[in-house]
Amino acid sequence: DQQVKQNSPSLSVQEGRISILNCDYTNSMFDYFLWYKKYPAEGPTFLISISSIKDKNEDGRFTVFLNKSAKHLSLHIVPSQPGDSAVYFCAASGDGTASKLTFGTGTRLQVTL
């Protein structure tokens, strides 16, 4: 039972445009959400997070939006850069911490010139 879903396995965006990566979850107990970026054969690196008491969190080019009623979150990257090309994972936690994260299957973002 996949509690965190990333339904788009891949996404291609032109440099300078906006990248929107989506994530849906089914467990209403999740209250903390994180996005990680991962290159092949490396560990994930943290990008941005959002608590369920917020609906938006911004950090530079990265913004995460949370729609609790729809159980949906999205990561916006603007402007997209070639170095953003990687696999992006969303993850969720049910206790507000980074403990016992449940991950989605990832979306591979390709930023083209």
Partner 1 sequence: DGGITQSPKYLFRKEGQNVTLSCEQNLNHDAMYWYRQDPGQGLRLIYYSQIVNDFQKGDIAEGYSVSREKKESFPLTVTSAQKNPTAFYLCASSLGQLMNTEAFFGQGTRLTVV
Residues forming the site for partner 1 (CB under 8 A): 4, 6, 9, 32, 34, 36, 41-46, 49, 51, 89, 91, 95-106
Q: How many CB atoms lie within 10 A of CB 66?
A: 19
Q: What angle do CA 84, 13, 74 make, to 5 degrees?
A: 70
Who contacts 8 (Cβ-Cβ below 8 Å, separation ≥6)? Answer: 21, 22, 107
Residue whose entry in the numeric block shows the structure tokens 């209250």: 31
Cβ distance 1 to 99 under 8 Å? Answer: no
